[in-house]
Amino acid sequence: MRNAMITIVLLVIVAVLSCGQAVDDQAVKNKAVVMETIDVLNNHEYEKLDQLYAQDFKRYCQATPEAVVESLDDFKALLAEWDKQFPDNYSELHMIAADSDLVAFYMTYSGTQEGQMGPFPPTGKKMSLECAGFHRLENRKIVETWVTWDNLAALTQLGHFPPTPAEADK
C-alpha cells in the first residue's frame, strides 16, 4: 500500500511539473513568434504576416481610435498607410516577456514623416516614440494586440505641436 501511495504521489508531481513545462514552452514559442513579427514588420515583408497573424486579428489602441483593425487585411492596410507616412519606419525591441498566451513588449518606433498623417502635413522630421503593449496568441498566431504610445511626444518631435498661432486660431 505504501509503495502504491508513493507511486501515485510521484505521478502527480511529474504531471504538475509537466504542465508547468508546457506553459513555459508555450511562452517561449509565443515570444519567438512576436520577435519574428518585429523582423517581418521592420523588413516590410507583409506577405509573411499570414503565417504570424490570425485572419480575424484585432488591434486595440487608444492613441489611434480612428484606425479600426478587425482583420489581418485591415492591419495590412494600416501598415501600408504608415509606410506612406514614415517610409523608413523601424521598431527596436527593448523588452519582451511572456506568460502563457500573452506576450508583453516595450519598444521604440522611429521614422521620418514623409507623408500626410491625418491632418498633419509631412515635415521631413524624424521621431522616436516609445511603445508598449501585449499580444495574445492562439496556435502560434497573434489574434489580438493592445498597444499604446504618447501622441503628444510624436507630434512635438515632428514639429506639429505646439501649434503655430495661425493654426491655433483655426
Global pTM value: 0.82
In Å, the largest CA–CA distance within the chain is 89
What's the pLDDT score for residue 167? 65
Domains contained in the chain, number: 1
In a domain, 170, yes or no: no
In a domain, 105, yes or no: yes
d(CA 134, CA 61): 11
In a domain, 139, yes or no: yes
Residue 5, pLDDT above cutoff 60: no
Q: What average pLDDT does range 130-147 have in this prediction?
A: 98
Amino acid at residue number 112? T
Three-state DSSP class for residue 106:
strand
Residue 10, pLDDT above cutoff 50: no
Tell me what the pLDDT averaged over the chain comes to: 90
In a domain, 35, yes or no: yes
Phi, psi of 14 (to 5 degrees): -60, -40
* Cell digits of residue 64: 489611434
**What CATH code is carried by the domain that includes residue 157?**
3.10.450.50
In a domain, 128, yes or no: yes
Q: What average pLDDT does range 93-117 have in this prediction?
A: 97
Contact 150, 129 (CB under 8 A): yes
In a domain, 32, yes or no: yes
What is the residue-wise DSSP string for 31-100?
HHHHHHHHHHHHTT-GGGGGGTEEEEEEEE-TT-TT--B-SHHHHHHHHHHHHHH-TT-EEEEEEEEEET
Q: Look up the domain containing 84 and give its range.
A: 2-162
